[in-house]
Chains A and B, each alone.
Chain A
Amino acid sequence: MDFDLSKPQKLLKHSAREFFARECKLDRVRELMETDTAHDDKLWQSIADQGWTGLVVPEEHGGLGLGLVELAVVAEEMGRACLPGAFLSTLTAAALVERAGSVAQRAKYLEPIAAGELKATVAFLEEGASWEVDEIKLKATREGGNFQLSGRKLFVPDAGIADLLICVARDGDGLALLPVERGAEGLSIKAMPSMDGTRKLHEVAFESVMVAEADVFGADGDARGALRGALEVGCVALCAEMVGGMQWVLETTVEYAKTRQQFGRAIGSFQAVQHQCADMLLMTESARSATYYAAWALTEGDPSASVAVSIAKAYCSDAYREVGNRGIQVHGGIGFTWEHDLQLYYKRSKSSETLFGDATFHRERIARIIVDGNAVARERAEQAEALAGQLQAAETDAAADVTANATASE
């Protein structure tokens, strides 16, 4: 077992860190936040030149064809840099095209995505703001070889800059994944100004937008499964971003605690401050374990992958917010100012928390598997119940082990 990045993965991490430190400084992040799209053409093209817009796109479609661990490595550095713009949206849309698209559709969209020529997003949420697929209400109605869309999607990230928007709609009992290209007749997009300026949200209105039935993704397959898979890819990348953000907040806070003097000494010598920092480290590292495991499990097609993704997202959602809270608390007043960059990460943690479902959403998803479970899980649980009578002895053993493991301090 080797739960560490391989040499090439470490190199990738190193070059990603250098790249973003050079190409995406926090001053630039602030400038982009002030724009309507948070998009920078030059930066986007440089990212594409690195191959990262096609990082997980199969090689036959012009991508690098790498796995999700490599994606997590790069996304972590993006989160550390607080990279604004449509990377995550485009990634999620690409993952959806890859899973639901025909050969021709994959060629049509994935190649330009990998080349950095096409930005895309998935329009999912509606008034109910629920990430539950069954709560999608927007209907796609069939009409003479076309689907017709009328209604609204909300909180659609990066819709203002996306060339392609994949609308998740209801088609009878099933789902329809409808590609709507920028400028389509009847499509209108309105900004929904929100807390985090690095990720722009939009209301997308469809007024009798027509999509040819032949163009719809996953018409003859498992649209629901493809959507779940794509959201899981987006989720893992988002978690990795969140880990990178936590790492930045942790390092910035520890550095501050070492230099900021009060009562004639560095505040980092006070245990009240030290313990906040220790907790930040524990949360950051735990989030990292959960995220990289999810990336690995998803790449390997491990049966635990779906639970692993929800574990990662539930944990990261709570942890990034809390790491931000502790970081600002340690900084004191300066941490609450507009001037300090902590606020950028704090806001990003909030938008990341809800994107693809918050901790509560993902805990319920976990419960459906581990509490409701399947027959196998149920059987295991019943065995566990039978074992309950023996637990007391086992607990005593564990306690003895613990005592043997005494930790000294100087």
Chain B
Amino acid sequence: MDLNLIPNEQQFRDEFRAWLKTNVPEEWKGGTSAEDRDDYIEYLRDWQRKLYEGGWAGISWPKEYCGRGASLMEQAIFQEELARANAPQLIGTIGLSLVGPTIIAMGTEAQKSRYLAPILSGEEIWCQGFSEPNAGSDLASLGTKAARDGDDFRINGQKIWTSFAQMADWCLLLVRTDSQAPKHKGITCLLADMRSEGVSVRPLRQMSGDSGFNEVFFSNVRVPVTQVLGEVNEGWTTAITALMNERANLGTGIQVVFKRNLEALIARSRTVERNGRPASEDPIVRQKLAQAYLELEILRLNTNRALTSLSKTGIPGPEGSTQKLYWSEMNQRTQQTAQEILGPYGQLKDFDNGIWEYAYLRARGNTIEAGTSEIQRNIIAERVLGLPKSY
């Protein structure tokens, strides 16, 4: 057991940290919200192009596909450094972390040469058409239909909770190609052009006020059969590959965001009052801050253990479920602690720029998005503990 970074990892971190220092856009560092810009999407594309040109896009991809062949630990360091530098988000994150690796694993040579380079450069943005109104936790019951029509599939149906759909050029789309087969056996994965006729996107406004998700409607959308990723009716395998490829994301970036948030809360606790004294002197507040701190530190440690184990086995397992379950519930507890410490100030939209009001509401979604806590517990029970299937 040695928890120090090895020289390679250290070097990787120093190099990327130095690169970020000179390359994260100044006006972004100043705290202006890029979302207010008219050229928001272009701005983010430029940022990704900058990363690409610096050799920092798709670091986990093999070198033959212009990646860096970064180790799992380096991928974690990459996420941490991005978050630490408070860099703009990666607009192409779904392409980089999910679609690209899946095309590398399962795509034809033609697909690889057509799609991989624009993913890295940010030229083409991807979204992921998986969830449907009636297929959430039970994803395999999805019903968007693809009927064979000459050299095309004709797609009809609806996807939901689709991040980036409003700006995406392409969609990794799961459709049903055989409605007679058992539910896992009739699914096909397509590379669908979002500019096709019959695709419409409607943003969904969340309780926190922002619109991170969309509904996507497909009405007689034609997708050529050459656009199948993997095999027809074997789309479930492709989907699992895609999801498992997200292995670097064990909560490595989000921890840094949480840490900054907690540090801000601790600083705030010194200025807001409780019983005429700084809240930071109140024994109950101190207990709660310490609890939030220790839970966050344990998240970091659990992540490092999961990374170690993944690095050794090379097989992404259910570690992601344990991590996701832990951080999502932790963040809800911590945001409640923030609300208790700040009292009515915590609900104000112009106190600290409204971050506490926003964070509290945003945290509510954490235990639902990306697999509910219930689903995560099912996965842990069945795949880690070996308990009998419940459904």
- List A residues at the B interface (Cβ < 8 Å): 1-6, 9, 69, 254, 257-258, 265-266, 268-271, 273-275, 277-279, 281-282, 285-286, 288-290, 292-293, 296-297, 307-308, 310-311, 314-315, 360, 363-364, 366-367, 370-372, 380-382, 384-385, 387-410
Contact of B137 among A292, A405, A409 (CB under 8 A): A409
Name the segment of B114-122, B150-158, B301-309 touching the other chain: B301-309
Measured between alpha carbons, how far is A307 from B297 in the docked complex, in Å?
Answer: 10
The reply to whether A69 and B387 form a contact with Cβ atoms under 8 Å apart is: no
Q: Which residue of A lies closest to B259 (CB)?
A: A384
* Distance in Å: Cβ of B255 to nearest Cβ of chain A: 10
> Complex: how many Å from CA A236 to CA B138?
43
Closest-CB distance, A206 to chain B (whole angstroms): 33
Which A residue's beta carbon lies closest to that of B164? A400
Please determine whether B305 and A409 come into contact, CB atoms closer than 8 angstroms: no
Q: Which residues of A contact B388 (CB under 8 A)?
A: 258, 265-266, 268-269
CB distance A1 to B375 under 8 Å?
A: no
Give the docked Cα–Cα distance between A89 and B290 (Å): 28
Contact between B243 and A371 (Cβ–Cβ < 8 Å)?
no
A69 to B1, CA, bound (A): 8
Interfacial chain A residues near B326, Cβ < 8 Å: 282, 286
What residues of chain B lie closer than 8 Å to A1, measured between beta carbons? Answer: 2-6, 9, 73, 304, 307-308
Which of chain B's residues have a CB closer than 8 A to the CB of A391?
257, 260-261, 264, 353, 355, 359
Query: Chain A binding site: helix, strand, loop or mixed by DSSP?
Result: helix
Asked if B163 contacts A400 (CB within 8 A), the reply is yes
Contact across chains for B267 and A285 when beta carbons are under 8 A apart:
no
17 contacts between A and B (CB under 8 A): A1-B304, A69-B1, A278-B325, A286-B326, A289-B304, A290-B298, A366-B294, A384-B263, A388-B267, A388-B355, A392-B353, A393-B35, A404-B94, A404-B163, A405-B246, A405-B249, A406-B131
**Dominant secondary structure of chain B at its interface with chain A:** helix
Within 8 A of A (CB), among B352-388: 352-355, 358-359, 362, 365-366, 369-371, 374-382, 384-388
Is residue B224 contacting chain A, with contact meaning CB distance below 8 A?
no
> In the bound complex, do residue B375 and residue A407 qualify as a contact, i.e. CB atoms below 8 Å apart?
yes
Interface residues of B in 135-157 (CB under 8 A from A): 137-140
Chain A residues contacting B309 (CB-CB under 8 Å) are 4
Give Cα distance in the complex from A273 to B385, angstroms: 12
Beyond A271-B374, A364-B283, A408-B130, whether A4 also contacts B308 by CB under 8 A is yes
Q: A4-B1, A269-B387, A311-B294 are in contact. Are A407 and B324 (CB under 8 A)?
A: yes
